[in-house]
């Protein structure tokens, strides 16, 4: 049976990366591990690891991106919570069998080889949930 292992990261959408880092990195004092452009998602992501999990700040780098559309519609704020799972294919089938609405019917593969898929907020109590298999 597929098992959820941990909270992997919490993602926050921001419209000004430096301004957000002045809170998360400078005011709270969480170390910025990496600031990376993700051309495939037309966004920039800051990774702030914290005791086995991460805060991720996501900023659109193009008006065309999904994140830009989200930001225009809803403004800055919590974007998604990501749960690490040991068997993403198994978990997606389990969710389908329980009529949970998925955004990605099949897992996608990130540049670093991680498999991920999103679950629709309609089925989760309003929170976009990402599954990650490392």
Residues at the contact surface with Co ion, assessed by CB under 5 A:
11, 82, 130
> Strands 128-133 and 77-85: what pairing?
parallel
Nearest approach in angstroms of CB 45 to Co ion is: 8
Name the residue nearer to Co ion (CB basis): 11 or 48: 11
Nearest approach in angstroms of CB 54 to Co ion is: 9
Nearest approach in angstroms of CB 1 to Co ion is: 24
- Secondary structure element (H or E) that encloses residue 90, with its range: helix 88-97
Closest CA to 47 of 39, 60, 35, 63: 35
Name the residue nearer to Co ion (CB basis): 25 or 79: 79
- Secondary structure element (H or E) that encloses residue 67, with its range: helix 66-74
Name the residue nearer to Co ion (CB basis): 99 or 126: 126
């Amino acid at each position: 049976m597929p098992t959820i292992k941990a909270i992997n990261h919490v993602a926050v959408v921001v419209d000004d990366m430096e301004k957000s880092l002045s809170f998360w990195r400078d005011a709270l004092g969480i170390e910025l591990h990496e600031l990376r452009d993700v051309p495939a998602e037309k966004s920039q992501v800051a990774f702030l690891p914290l005791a086995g999990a991460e805060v991720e700040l996501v900023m659109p780098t193009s008006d065309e991106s999904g994140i830009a559309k989200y930001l225009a519609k809803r403004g800055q704020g919590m974007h998604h919570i990501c749960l690490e799972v040991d068997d993403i294919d198994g978990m997606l089938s389990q969710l389908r069998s329980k009529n949970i609405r998925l955004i990605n019917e099949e897992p996608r593969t990130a540049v670093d080889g991680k498999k991920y898929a999103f679950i629709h907020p309609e089925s989760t109590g309003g929170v976009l949930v990402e599954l990650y298999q490392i």
